[in-house]
Each structure stands twice: as structure tokens, then as C-alpha cells.
């Protein structure tokens, strides 16, 4: 379960909406494009946990009004790597190997994502994860490592909240659509 976190006033929105985003959501509704329930389970199992972990790390620092420590910054990078790996495996099932039974169904091709859904995941999760990595990596520069200041911690939180909001919006857009295993939709 993800936390009901909110951004501080004045923190900018993150991954900008796709130029044709509303048309894509209309396409999802009109064509009744769905995400297989199993894929949602995998996404929430992996992404939800990793996003929540980053939220907790950053929120703890913000609540104490202290910068994010170097150890916690490294943990954030570990979690963003795990987010990227999970999304890569769902978007590119051929990359799944020896990941256990949980991802085997995706690797076999039983749960392929529609190209519109892939575009959304690549845009929102990919861009937000990349921005977190850039922000954190700046402070983990081996020449001048330093804790992540509060202002940038707030930005990291905005990226994780953006991913969470995207997942919720996409789930809502694809909910109520009965998944037909034969059509892959």
C-alpha cells in the first residue's frame, strides 16, 4: 500500500504529459485495452514496494528537516535500479531469465502489454526513474560526495509520487475491462 503523501507547495510537476495523452487514454477506453491482472500484481509487487521504500527514505529526512544521508542516497539508487529492471522485464519479456515462477508467465508471452501501455510505462516510469538517478548521482559523485539537500529530496519525492499517480491513473483507465486471454487484451 502506497502512502498518501503530498508535495510541498511550489514543487513542480515532473514527467510532463505526453502530447497525445488524452487521445491515448481515449484509445484505452474505446478499444477496451487492458493490462492483465497478473501484470498489475507484478507491477504493484515490485514497483509499488520500491517506490514506497524511496518515499519512506525521503519522507523520513524531510520530516526531520535533515538532508538525505549518503547511505540512504545509495539505497535510493538501488531501488531505482530495481524499478528499471522490473519495468524492463515487463516491457521486454525476452530479458526474463531465471527470475522464478512469478515472472515466468510474462516471459512465456501470456501477458504481453499493448503498445499504448508500453508507451505510458516508458514515459512516466522511465523518465521519473531517470530523473531520480540524475539527482541522487549528482550528490554521490566520488570526488565530492554530500548528503542530498531538502530541496532536492522534495524533488525526488515528487518523482516517486508522479510514478504512483501514473500507476493509479492507468489502473483506473484499464479497470473494468475484462481481460480476454485469447486476444492478449
The number of residues in the chain equals: 185
Dist CA 182 CA 44 (whole Å): 24
More confident call, 183 vs 167: 167
Provide φ and ψ at 14, rounded to 5°: -105, -115
Averaged pLDDT for residues 142-150: 95
Dist CA 147 CA 72 (whole Å): 9
The residues facing 68 across adjacent strands are 148
How deeply is 110 buried, as exposed, middle or buried, from its count of CB atoms within 10 A (0-12, 13-18, 19+)?
A: middle
In which band, very low, low, confident or very high, does the pLDDT at 90 lie, cut at 50, 70 and 90?
Answer: confident
pLDDT score at 101: 63
Record the cell numbers describing residue 154, joined without a space. Answer: 522534495
Q: Say yes or no to pLDDT of 45 above 90.
A: no
Dist CA 148 CA 62 (whole Å): 11
Amino acid at each position: 500500500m502506497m502512502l498518501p503523501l503530498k508535495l510541498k507547495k511550489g514543487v513542480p510537476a515532473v514527467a510532463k504529459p505526453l502530447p497525445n495523452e488524452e487521445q491515448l487514454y481515449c484509445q484505452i477506453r474505446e478499444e477496451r485495452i487492458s493490462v492483465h491482472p497478473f501484470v498489475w500484481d507484478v507491477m504493484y509487487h515490485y514497483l509499488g514496494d520500491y517506490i514506497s521504500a524511496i518515499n519512506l527514505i525521503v519522507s523520513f529526512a524531510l520530516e526531520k528537516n535533515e538532508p538525505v544521508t549518503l547511505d540512504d542516497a545509495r539505497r535510493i539508487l538501488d531501488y531505482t535500479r530495481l524499478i528499471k529492471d522490473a519495468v524492463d522485464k515487463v516491457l521486454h519479456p525476452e530479458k526474463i531469465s531465471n527470475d522464478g515462477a512469478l515472472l515466468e508467465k510474462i516471459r512465456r508471452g501470456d501477458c504481453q502489454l499493448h503498445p499504448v501501455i508500453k508507451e505510458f510505462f516508458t514515459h512516466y516510469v522511465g523518465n521519473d526513474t531517470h530523473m531520480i538517478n540524475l539527482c541522487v548521482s549528482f550528490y554521490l559523485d566520488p570526488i565530492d560526495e554530500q548528503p542530498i539537500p531538502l530541496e532536492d529530496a522534495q524533488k525526488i519525492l515528487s518523482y516517486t509520487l508522479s510514478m504512483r499517480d501514473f500507476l493509479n491513473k492507468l489502473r483506473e483507465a484499464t479497470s473494468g475491462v475484462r481481460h480476454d486471454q485469447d486476444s492478449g487484451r
